[in-house]
Amino acid sequence: MASVKKKLWENNGNVTLSSNDGICASSLNFEKGQRTIHLRKGNGFKGKAQTHHQSLNDSLDGELRAFLIDEDALHTYDDLTKVNPVTPTTVLRCLQARYRAKVFYTQAGCTLVALNPFQPIPHLYTLDVMREYHCAPQPQEFKPHIFIAAEEAYRNVQGQVEPNDQSLVVSGESGAGKTWTSRCLMKYYATVAASSSSPKCQDTVERIEKRVLDSNPLMEAFGNACTLRNNNSSRFGKYIQLQLNRSQILVGASIQTYLLEKTRVAFQAANERNFHIFYQMMKGATEEQRHKWRMSRDQGFTWLPNADKTLEEDCFQETTDAMTHMGITKAKQGQIFQILAGLLHLGNVSFSPPMDESQPCDLQEQSKDFLQNTAELLQIPQEQLLACLRLRALTAGKQSVVFKPCSLAECTVRRDCLAKVIYAHVFDSLVAFINGSVCADPSSWCNFIGVLDVYGFECFALNNLEQLCINYANEKLQQHFVAHYLKAQQEEYVSEGLEWSFIKYQDNQGCLDLIEGSPTCIFSLLNEECRLKRASDAKQFKARLEKELSNNACISWDRFSKRPHFTVSHYAGKVCYQITGMMEKNKDPVPLELIHMLQKSQDPLLQSLFVDHDIEVNNSRGHVVSKFKNSLESLMKILHSTTPHYTRCIKPNPECQPLTFKKEEVIVQLQACGIVETINISAAGFPIRIPYPSFLQRYGLIVNSRMWRPSINGNGPEMDESILSPMVADVLNVVLQSRSPDPPKVSETESCSSLVHCGKTKVFLTHHMLELLESQRHRMRSRRAFFIQHSWRTHRRRKQEAQSRAAIRIQAAVRAWLIRRVVLQWHKAATLIQKTWRQWRAAMEVLAETELDDVVDVTQAPVYDPTVWESGAVQLSTGQDPVTVWAWPLGLALASAPSITVAMTASSFQKVVSLMACLKLSFRSGDYKVETNQFEQGVASIRAQPQESIKLHLQRSPLLYADICPGRKGDGVTGFNQILLEDVI
């Protein structure tokens, strides 16, 4: 499909101009039958050219006929700014053709027009369609859809040009589809703004998404009702703020409500119904619940008219599921429904006038059971309830209280007042619970997207204060649209130096002055009338209105009507308001005895709703219109602080029939909303306006402009427009030159001025020029991102190589140091061993020399056994008792006796060490055992002479010298003895 924005800048007229001129704006003069085309040269408007039509084919009628001849192509106009000429007839025919083709969304400049099909179109709102619009680089290139407006607002929060909070204003008559549109918007944001990589965060987001979506059926069940114009009409206004964090993830929501029509609880017009929740309870309750609520299937309730009418909204299970998902427990749900059931029974309580006027009204016989059921369900004493309904308390003096019987009308008013105040508090508690359940901490979110869904413009056979407030709210929204777009935009063109021919539009400021103006208006006179300590008089109030407001052209009276009324000319048409009952509704009196009774209720929920009601009553003296006006003013402040996006819902037929288009119904709505004027201004002007600093901050990188950065960041002197203007012109020239590969000619450059205009402080752009700027900015950012990536990868590669070389050097140095340390340890150990060995050897040599010097030769040889002399060996005993060897050569004894025990004695520490060193080195494991007994026997010394035999000198040795060498067997003497004996002959 062709892009919508690409054709916004094109000339839709049939006038031929020179190549040096560009079309900036055009206006139609229907009286003279001519079109005025504003020409611009360079950066501004320089003149006007008028084209006079001489024939019918060239006239406006001819253009209109030529346009309307091609019926088959009318449904292809996705944007009504492409319609030429723009008249109510051409716009109406295009919308009709698109409606027949089942195309229900059409762009009208800055406004999206939505036609209600009055039947489900599921394929238009699937998750795949949401993702398609959300992921599209240019969603405007797709067919018009409510998701385009939603995505534009979402991307503006992300800061494409100026990050700012956004508001989507959904307006239209009752039954035009505002509630459904708001529901689609919330579903879209809950889907696209709920993606997260963290599982824990994903669970939180899904919980918030579920609760935000579940708040819709809950609020609609308690706040919507079936009216003459709409089966699901919102009887309250709501502004939903979807809270986003810095990553544009949905983290919470808050709901602000305005003027609940609580009178609907006790009064319903003909062929209308009460709030949906009552019918859901009647049709969807279980037998156990019916028994608990005293609601049999054949039970009829006065406040439940048209109960046999079945609607799609009569789904009790959906409401209870939504309450459960919101976190409302089953016990609390039961308390809420029990209170609502008590209100239904209260509606069947009626009175009859007494025989004596000094006595209270009589309770009708058929109402006694309903009164008892009401008292039991509300958990208040039946006698106290009856007394509060029939008697009113009068204060006599400071403390004394006198009870006066109420008239029949007063009893009915007090009964209705009790029901209204209870239902209003239940509704407010639900809103507070929803906000507490889904509202995020202020520190966790930074921006929001607001969705405004208010009651549509209403005009019934009988209109009272509720319709006046509802239509007043619609007037405020229309005035916001007029002030923000139709009026402010054209005035801004002139202030910025653009030559502009003003396009007339319907300004509703006069009607607002009539309702809320100063010093005298309808609201002020109504409040003054309510403050007077006298009975309300409708005729007297009408006379005062005629006297004070006769100069205002927006109010009129029918002097022949018997009912006091006044007629107000609203932007959407005239509405006649009945004065009777208006003062009582504005006072909204709540008797204190009713509040005190509810505060003493045994029902914990009902008691908690009114625990602080006395403080509210004492501190708030304002009336209904004053409170509503203040709340509406706070809403308008929020809207003025955000960037608005308008969606106009159109009701194709008053009967709400599927795919039925009635021209007379639609044309009135188009004229009332100012759609034609909006299209003319959008087609001729520049819908996008960006201040110079913000423009350079976003698009200055296209020409690498750095002069503006200090002033933007606040680190340098402020620059005036004379300095910033050349920078802006450089950026625009670069973008315009990049449109084609060949350098543009001068005439082509001047014709490009139809895309952009530089004012005194702002840049005025068309959508096509914005696309060019964004495309060029994207290319520049991609190019610079490539350079940054290239430089970073080069730097990272070089850094990695340097780190690798440094690591190798560090490893080599560490290894060398470790090896050097080990080698040094080895040198130290070897040196210590050598030193110790040399010291020990020197000490042994000194010891040996000293002992040899002290030796005494034995001159007398001992006598031995002959057997020993013959065999040359000693036969030692193998018994358990050891045999003591006194003088036999030690080496021979040890070699030949492996199983004997030898007891040896040595004296002095050095001798013991020498003996043990000799003996231990010659042992074989398990052969024999050597035990020393040095303190009893003792060895005198062990001497070793160089190149001589071993000399064992014992204290009682029978031998002079032991010079016999032992045999060299496998198991012979080894070790130190072997070393000492191996060279002995």
Q: Per the annotation, does 397 bind a ligand?
A: no
Task: List alpha helices for 285-367, DSSP H.
Answer: 287-293, 316-326, 330-347
The alpha helices in 43-87, defined as continuous H runs, are 60-69
Cα separation of 195 and 553, whole Å? 54
Beta strand segments in 486-534, E: none
Q: Determine the Cα–Cα distance for residues 280 and 221; give it in Å rounded to an integer.
A: 8
| Parallel/antiparallel/unpaired status of strands 362-363 and 351-352 | antiparallel
Q: Is 102 left (phi over 0), alpha (psi -120 to 50) or beta?
A: left
Distances in whole angstroms, Cα of residue 8 to Cα of each of 175, 584, 637:
32, 54, 32
For 223, phi and psi rounded to 5 degrees?
-120, -5
718: helix, strand or coil: coil
Rounded distance, CA 563 to CA 557, Å? 11
Tell me whether residue 747 is annotated as binding: no
Two tokens, residue 206: 């899904």
Q: Is 848 annotated as a binding residue?
A: no
Strands in 151-280 per DSSP E? 166-172, 224-225, 233-234, 237-244, 250-258
State the residue for tokens 């005062």: 544
Rg (CA), the chain: 53
Phi, psi torsion values for 239, nearest 5 degrees: -125, 115
Taking each helix axis from N to C terminus, what angle separates 316-326 and 408-438, rounded to the nearest 10 degrees?
A: 50
**Cα–Cα nearest to 726, from 748, 751, 750, 708:** 708
d(CA 689, CA 161): 10
Reduce the DSSP state of residue 816 to 3 states and report it.
helix
Is residue 178 a known part of a binding site?
yes
Measured CA to CA, the distance from residue 223 to residue 268 in angstroms comes to 14
CA distance 95 to 367: 55
Task: Name, in order, each residue with C-beta under 8 angstroms of 172's C-beta and a sequence gap of 6 or more.
Answer: 114, 178, 456, 457, 648, 649, 650, 651, 669, 673
Q: Which helix (H) or strand (E) segment is 931 a member of?
A: strand 929-932
Q: Is 81 annotated as a binding residue?
A: no
Q: Is 665 helix (H, G, I), strand (E, B) or coil?
A: helix
In our burial notation (b when 16+ CB lie closer than 10 A, e otherwise), range 777-803 reads beebeeeeeeeeeeeeeeeeeeeeeee
Name the 3-class secondary structure at 50: strand
Would the annotation count 175 as a binding residue?
yes
Annotation-wise, does 176 bind a ligand? yes
Distance CA 273, CA 527 (A): 30
3-state secondary structure of 391: strand
Q: Is 931 annotated as a binding residue?
A: no
Contact assessment for residue 984 and residue 952, using Cβ atoms and an 8 Å cutoff? no
Q: Provide φ and ψ at 431, rounded to 5°.
A: -60, -45
Spatial contact of 237 and 181, defined as CB atoms under 8 Å apart: no
- In one letter, which amino acid is 176? A
Cα(185)–Cα(164) distance, rounded to whole angstroms? Answer: 18
| Gap between the Cα atoms of 495 and 483, Å rounded | 16
Q: How far is CA 673 from CA 81, 91, 177, 763, 965, in A?
A: 16, 13, 15, 28, 137
CB 117 within 8 A of CB 101: no
What whole-number distance in Å separates Cα of residue 629 and Cα of residue 239?
15
Annotated binding site: 172-179
| Binding-site residue ranges for ATP | 172-179
